[in-house]
Amino acid sequence: MVRSMPVRRFKRGFKLGLIKLLIGNKAAGVHLSYVGRGATDDLCRRIVDIGHTDVLVVTDKALKELGLAERALAGLVEAGVNLHWYAGVDPDPTFAHVIEGRQALRSAGCTAIIAVGGGSSMDAAKIIACTRSSDEAPDKWVGMNKVPDDILPIYAIPTTSGTGSEATMGAVIKDPVEKLKHIIVAEGLLPQAVALNPDLLVGLPAPITAATGIDALTHGIEAFICIWDRGTRKENGRLAIQGVFRWLEQAVQHPEDMEARQGMAVAAYHAGIAINQVGVGNVHAIAHQLGARYGIPHGQANALALPHVLQACLSEAETALAELAVVTHVSEAASPAARAQAFVESVTDLIRKVGIAETDPRIQSEDWETLAHAAMDESDGYVSPRLLTKAEMLGILRDISVS
Ligand SMILES: [Fe+2]
């Protein structure tokens, strides 16, 4: 059901007030991060020092078969830690993956979980970590602070640079029947420590590097331009955006460039810290629907929507976008409106340069109405510069569909 704009504004104001009351004064989370070519060894030492002897590794089949996950965790094996595996995570994990992971976790009696992979593995690992003793159906945990209290400690080793899940207390789980993506948030889902090792990123194909990089850019921008001035969301957002502008093209064109890979890993991490404080926005509200309905990879879906959403919010987000134009060296025009416009154009340009198409043939016109409603519903909970109308949502869907 589509609510009127005043009702949507009231609903958003109420939600924001409630969130501010509940978490506004809390730190957005503190954890350790190791960066560089020795980062995974450092993380392994940390896990050994804490005293874990049996850990569950959550990853996908390809990373397990390639031996990449094993190489990353060699330090644990050398120290005598027993690795138990759940290597069944697929893109866009579902509650069925969580149940499978729960079986692996319990049969081995693990005391910690290590996610090795992209956002899907990290998100699945977070929810599997909640199943240590609870037999509750995990779909009951959708929303904020609904997971059980005894969450296992989570450690993250990202093998893509985009999701930011390594720095957030949220996880996205797909319901394949309803074709919806659900978000589960709880403080205990924030990984205890993370290793950002560029060696694990060099094999990432160019299209995935590009799409995940635009996901990170979207996180940085949505946190930077939002209406909730909380914590360090602006500083981390800026560092993320500057990092993506500096390193993404290079990482796409020169996959083995360690400096570019590390630059992107750090950018995505900053973006994760930024959204962990204020959430995402309209771009994600649209992208989640495209991912859930058509399986369009998350970063690619963001890349489709991002320029259109920014253009729609140009006037409300003008000051922030104009500031971004300066810090990314895109424009120093005297007029803020000109600088903001230049920044949006530079984002469009970057998406093009890294090879992501501006339209997608999978989006069907008969679904526009449903997609627009679902995106509006999701966006009502976000602190974006403003809510988009149904006509605007439909316009964006039309623009990113193949006519
Ligand atoms: Fe995202």
pLDDT digits (tens, 9 = 90+) for 319-360: 999 999 999 999 999 999 999 999 999 999 999 999 999 999
Going by pLDDT thresholds of 50, 70 and 90, the confidence category of residue 13 is: confident
- Helices 390-400 and 298-312: crossing angle in degrees, nearest 10, is 130
CATH number assigned to the domain comprising residue 214? 1.20.1090.10
Same domain, 94 and 195: yes
In a domain, 27, yes or no: no
**For 159-177, what is the mean pLDDT?**
93
Same domain, 105 and 196: yes
Same domain, 195 and 217: no
Same domain, 132 and 165: yes
In a domain, 140, yes or no: yes
Going by pLDDT thresholds of 50, 70 and 90, the confidence category of residue 177 is: confident
Out of 200, 228, 257, pick the residue that ends a domain.
200
Out of 200, 215, 232, pick the residue that ends a domain.
200
β-pair type (82-86, 143-144): unpaired
- The protein residues having their C-beta less than 5 angstroms from ligand 1 (an ion) are 215
Going by pLDDT thresholds of 50, 70 and 90, the confidence category of residue 16 is: confident
In a domain, 127, yes or no: yes
**Is residue 24 predicted with pLDDT exceeding 70?**
no
Cα 74 to averaged position of ligand 1 atoms, centre (Å):
30
Cα 225 to averaged position of ligand 1 atoms, centre (Å):
15
In a domain, 7, yes or no: no
**Is residue 27 predicted with pLDDT exceeding 80?**
no
The string of pLDDT tens digits covering residues 121-159 is: 999 999 999 999 999 999 999 998 999 999 999 999 999
CB 157 within 8 A of CB 209: no
In a domain, 4, yes or no: no
Mean pLDDT of the chain: 94
Q: Domain range for residue 284?
A: 204-400
Out of 143, 166, 200, pick the residue that ends a domain.
200
**For 388-398, what is the mean pLDDT?**
97
Cα 283 to averaged position of ligand 1 atoms, centre (Å):
9
Residue 158 is encoded by which pair of tokens? 């990202």
Cα 18 to averaged position of ligand 1 atoms, centre (Å):
24
Contacts with 92 (C-beta within 8 Å, 6 or more apart), sequence order: 120, 172, 174, 181, 291, 292, 295, 298
- Quick one: pLDDT at residue 163? 94
In a domain, 173, yes or no: yes
The string of pLDDT tens digits covering residues 99-117 is: 999 999 999 989 999 999 9
- Quick one: pLDDT at residue 218? 98
Same domain, 193 and 165: yes
- Quick one: pLDDT at residue 28? 65
- Quick one: pLDDT at residue 358? 97
The string of pLDDT tens digits covering residues 36-88 is: 999 999 999 999 999 999 999 999 999 999 999 999 999 999 999 999 999 99
Same domain, 212 and 177: no
Cα 53 to averaged position of ligand 1 atoms, centre (Å):
33
Of the given ranges (20-24, 158-162, 301-305, 324-328), which has the lowest mean pLDDT?
20-24
In a domain, 332, yes or no: yes
Name the percent of the chain lying above pLDDT 90. Answer: 86
In a domain, 13, yes or no: no
- Quick one: pLDDT at residue 14? 82
Cα 182 to averaged position of ligand 1 atoms, centre (Å):
13
- Quick one: pLDDT at residue 210? 98
Cα 333 to averaged position of ligand 1 atoms, centre (Å):
30
Contacts with 307 (C-beta within 8 Å, 6 or more apart), sequence order: 344, 347, 348, 351, 358
- Quick one: pLDDT at residue 25? 62
**For 246-273, what is the mean pLDDT?**
97
CATH number assigned to the domain comprising residue 90? 3.40.50.1970
Contacts with 259 (C-beta within 8 Å, 6 or more apart), sequence order: 198, 247
- For residues 390 and 375, give the distance between their C-alpha atoms in angstroms, rounded to a whole number: 9
296 φ/ψ angles, rounded to the nearest 5 degrees: -65, 125
**Is residue 396 predicted with pLDDT exceeding 70?**
yes
Count: domains in the chain: 2
Better-predicted residue by pLDDT, 22 or 375: 375
Same domain, 249 and 289: yes
- Quick one: pLDDT at residue 2? 64
Name the percent of the chain lying above pLDDT 70. Answer: 98
Cα 212 to averaged position of ligand 1 atoms, centre (Å):
8
Cα 72 to averaged position of ligand 1 atoms, centre (Å):
25
Same domain, 356 and 372: yes
**Is residue 303 predicted with pLDDT exceeding 90?**
yes
- For residues 403 and 399, give the distance between their C-alpha atoms in angstroms, rounded to a whole number: 8
